[in-house]
Chains A and B, each alone.
Chain A
Amino acid sequence: MAKLRGTGIAAVNYPTGMNLGGDPSQALIHATTTGTFVISLSSTDLGQGLKTVIAQIGAETLGVPFENVLIDTADTDTGPHCMGTFASRATHRVGNAVIMAAKEARKVMLEVAAEELEASPDDLDTDGQGNIYVKGSPERKIDITSVALAAHFKYGRSISGRGMYIKPKSPVDPETGKMDPDSTEAHACVVAEVEVDTETGEVTVLSLKSAYEVGCQVNPALVREQIIGGAFMGMSHALYETTAPYYPSPDHAPGSFSEYVIPGPHELPHIESVVLEYPSVNGPYGVKGVGEMTANAPIPAIINAISNAIGVRLTEYPVTPEKILRALERSPKLKQPAQTGA
């Protein structure tokens, strides 16, 4: 018996968004009397932080503080259509829709501010701190609340905007498969280091070191959470998870978390990652999608590392201890210990 170490790599692409029958999302923005901006959507936050990053994108384009932006989602009576949160599409699609709506609302906001400041709207800018000022003479400024109050009670202007983003339908050519199925591609490379216990067949993932290229990050902490959460899910897929342990046999289907094995926090490996930012051509502020891919790249990296450790190529996941023990019987690396009768 021995503990064998191995290293494996994987390099992957991941497409942002889908395109089945056209892939749209919409956003509506309006300002309240006191300058709170409400972004109405019907988009879903799965826990990844969509409501937060969309508020950031809205605040940036409007030029108002993050705290002034509220996300109102998801209600089909009040929120305009969104295809849904899947296919690593939400930040890209909804973000683009919000930028369009925010630009329209910002235009009205600057026009009202221009009236109040007796300046041209073209000469105005926002400071992101809640003020609109005359470029070149920052002391001539007005706060957002005053602008919103003036818009409502003095000028009768609606500070609001409509936004829509669509990836148009691109049918697949049935003969050649020619298609335009996505908007951009994110990339990742993972280096996995594992240790295999040849007596029990158990694998310890020692480290996952990776580089992700996800376009520009709207919120680096949330990207980091995706990378760490995805690494954990990928590791779990590679080593543990299945609803059919003896696939294709349907027997022994797990019905609870005591049978469906998922690693615990103490099994989290050392994770290090570097994020590269190459802006996408069509994402809001250059983003691509990071949601799904972080669970993909670790799987082949871990499995290649196990193959490297034991000297047998593994071709299916999950790589359970049983599969490793069976593979070890074919391993040239273990011939020596086996003959000496461990």
Chain B
Amino acid sequence: MSEVTSAVARDVKKEFHVVGKSVPRRDGVGHVTGKTVYVDDISFPGMLHLKMVRSPIHHGIIRNVDFSAAEKVPGFVRVLTHRDVPKNIYTILCLIGVGPDEEPVLAVDRVLYKGEPIAAIVAETEEAAMEAVSRVRLDLEELPAVFDVEEALKPGAPILKPWGTNYFVYEGHHCRRVRFGDVEKGFAQADYIIEEVYNTSPIEHAPTETTACVAKPEPDGRYTVYTNTQALFFTMDNTALILQVPFSKLHFVGGTVGGGFGGKVDVIVEPIATLAAMKTGCPVKFKYTREEEMRVSSTRSAWRMYFKDGVMKDGRIIARKVISYADSGAYNRHTPYAVTKHAANVAGPYFIPNVYIDAYCVYTNRQPASAMRGFGVTPASFAVECQMDKIAETIGMDPWEIRFINAYRNGDMRPHQKVVEDATLIEVMKAAAELAGHQLPEHLLKMHSWDREKA
């Protein structure tokens, strides 16, 4: 069904004992026989379960929350609201200087997306917690919501952020900018101007194991948190900041994850489960249901990308202007950085002498987006490669040839002013063409990535 072969290129010397060898994966047998211990397999006597009271609307004011019926459910232990969270408003990248804080652990007086957590219910069983959640009476005043990235930036759109705009501010700018050469001059010189708009959808990580943790009080006054986070210290440090406890009070254990794909680098279940363990003195499990994983947890952000390329008759792209909008949903999570990574890659693996990029991180009333495999580059690669085919079609050139002509090579300057030093685009194209049985013309087969031929 599938076949992958290796071709050793250049001067790789295979004189290693074990590097380069396909030794069997050590945890493979445990994974395929169901013996590997995941977080949901962990249980302790007296363990409580946490479930969230979530917003049923996309945008609204919280007038009142009535827990009186929930408190009567057998097995109900306690409720946690924003008043219980020491540093309720946070942003997960604060440890590396990204701000301002803007996401509540539990909503205060307003909800910005359907599914936003308003209160946590802790109960003796998962069923009792769910039953109590269903009996909480929410009095909400619905507000107009915005779901489209460009609508969100128009005057009159509902403003979602305390700083008064629906975009992340990059050092005083509306967006992450890349400026290289003179794009307008390039358009003026070009034989063709080729424009297109590309759209992608929000996507769920769909891990086999849903996001989960168990927080357990220890006799020495510390808390052990068993978690399937992709970033153990990052999650622990953020948890300590949110709970305003010394970092040494926490002990995080993990390392085995049933599918991450970027969906488990948010810090979502650990702070509130640890707080619940502190308040109750009992171990507390908080595990997302599949429905929460899909409708509440972060997604891959949706993107809209406007491309305008100036192209010469010989196929050279001499100017590219891209205006991109990332739909961050209601909060930052990791999207501000995804936009930066996108900006560094949306010109593609091609040498283009004039590039202008404005990449926006936009807030909407959608479940937050965050990190996902490919992180800002996935939409860039999609748009760039579809655009390459459009250029080829427009100017009447073979899709292989347009890519060879424009491929970046070692020594070229990329738009974000980093010199290319390990280009192999031409080499993989030659290898893929050969594998697919596509005969490339001689002048393309002669090309390589190491340096530019003299014109």
Is there a chain B Cβ closer than 8 Å to A181's Cβ?
Answer: yes
Interchain CB contact under 8 A, A220 and B6: yes
Is there a chain A Cβ closer than 8 Å to B321's Cβ?
Answer: no
Known: A74-B253, A217-B6, A277-B6. Contact between A176 and B422, CB under 8 A? no
Chain A residue contacts of B140, Cβ below 8 A? none
Q: How many residues of B contact A (CB 8 A)?
A: 135
Chain B residue contacts of A211, Cβ below 8 A? 427-432, 435
How distant is the Cα of A8 from the Cα of B438 in the complex, in angstroms? 12
Is there a chain A Cβ closer than 8 Å to B446's Cβ?
Answer: no
Interchain CB contact under 8 A, A84 and B230: yes
Chain B residue contacts of A295, Cβ below 8 A? 373-374, 378
How distant is the Cα of A46 from the Cα of B263 in the complex, in angstroms? 11
Listed residue (A209, A297, A303) with the most chain B CB atoms within 10 angstroms of its CB: A209
Known: A46-B259, A211-B431. Contact between A187 and B206, CB under 8 A? no
Partner of B2, one of A85, A189, A268: A268
Is there a chain A Cβ closer than 8 Å to B180's Cβ?
Answer: yes
Interchain CB contact under 8 A, B23 and A52: yes
Listed residue (A221, A227, A280) with the most chain B CB atoms within 10 angstroms of its CB: A221
Is there a chain A Cβ closer than 8 Å to B232's Cβ?
Answer: yes
How distant is the Cα of A276 from the Cα of B429 in the complex, in angstroms? 11
Interchain CB contact under 8 A, B294 and A191: no
Known: A12-B349, A176-B180, A248-B148. Contact between A218 and B1, CB under 8 A? no
Interchain CB contact under 8 A, A272 and B357: no
Chain A residue contacts of B295, Cβ below 8 A? 243, 253-255
Partner of A274, one of B5, B178, B201, B382: B5
B390-407 Cβ-contact flags toward A at 8 Å (1 or 0): 100100000110010001
Is there a chain B Cβ closer than 8 Å to A101's Cβ?
Answer: no
Chain B residue contacts of A56, Cβ below 8 A? 18-19, 21, 23
Known: A44-B232, A86-B231, A248-B148. Contact between A237 and B203, CB under 8 A? yes
Instruction: Tell me the total A-B contact number using a CB cutoff of 8 A.
Output: 420
Known: A76-B232, A210-B435. Contact between A313 and B26, CB under 8 A? no
Is there a chain A Cβ closer than 8 Å to B96's Cβ?
Answer: yes
A285-306 Cβ-contact flags toward B at 8 Å (1 or 0): 1101001110111011101100
Is there a chain A Cβ closer than 8 Å to B302's Cβ?
Answer: yes
Q: How many residues of A contact B (CB 8 A)?
A: 130
Interchain CB contact under 8 A, B200 and A316: yes
Among the 9-residue stretches A139-147, A256-264, A324-332, the one with 4 or more Cβ atoms under 8 Å from chain B is A256-264
Is there a chain A Cβ closer than 8 Å to B265's Cβ?
Answer: yes
Interchain CB contact under 8 A, A273 and B95: no
Interchain CB contact under 8 A, B180 and A82: no
Chain A residue contacts of B203, Cβ below 8 A? 237, 241-243
A71-95 Cβ-contact flags toward B at 8 Å (1 or 0): 1011111010111111100000000
Known: A15-B341, A47-B31, A86-B230. Contact between A254 and B424, CB under 8 A? no
How distant is the Cα of A42 from the Cα of B236 in the complex, in angstroms? 12
How distant is the Cα of A262 from the Cα of B114 in the complex, in angstroms? 24
Known: A76-B236, A84-B230, A270-B2. Contact between A45 and B435, CB under 8 A? no
Is there a chain B Cβ closer than 8 Å to A281's Cβ?
Answer: yes
Interchain CB contact under 8 A, A60 and B17: yes
Give the Cβ gap from A319 to chain B, nearest Cβ, in Å. Answer: 10
B 346-401 contacts with A by CB, 8 A: 348-349, 357, 364-367, 371, 373-375, 377-378, 381-382, 384-386, 388-390, 393, 399-400
Is there a chain B Cβ closer than 8 Å to A278's Cβ?
Answer: yes
Partner of A216, one of B12, B198, B255: B12
* Residue in chain A with minimal CB distance to B438: A191
Give the Cβ gap from B134 to chain A, nearest Cβ, in Å. Answer: 16
Give the Cβ gap from A285 to chain B, nearest Cβ, in Å. Answer: 5
Chain A residue contacts of B400, Cβ below 8 A? 9
| Closest 10 A/B residue pairs (Cβ) | A84-B231, A21-B96, A74-B255, A128-B17, A177-B178, A300-B385, A221-B22, A211-B431, A174-B171, A189-B432
Enumerate 28 A-B pairs (CB-CB under 8 Å) in ascending A order: A8-B389, A21-B95, A21-B96, A42-B255, A52-B23, A76-B236, A76-B252, A84-B231, A86-B371, A172-B170, A174-B177, A176-B180, A181-B344, A189-B433, A191-B436, A213-B428, A241-B204, A249-B147, A254-B295, A271-B1, A272-B435, A275-B7, A278-B12, A278-B427, A285-B19, A296-B382, A316-B200, A318-B201
User: A77-B251, A243-B203 provided; 13 other pairs, C-beta below 8 A?
Assistant: A9-B429, A44-B230, A44-B232, A57-B19, A65-B18, A86-B260, A219-B22, A244-B201, A260-B206, A260-B294, A272-B3, A273-B435, A299-B382
Interface residue ranges, A against B (CB under 8 Å): 7-15, 18, 20-22, 42-47, 49, 51-52, 55-57, 59-60, 63, 65-66, 71, 73-77, 79, 81-87, 128, 172, 174-182, 184-185, 187-191, 209-213, 216-224, 227-228, 233, 237, 241-244, 247-250, 253-257, 260, 262, 268, 270-281, 285-286, 288, 291-293, 295-297, 299-301, 303-304, 307-308, 313-318
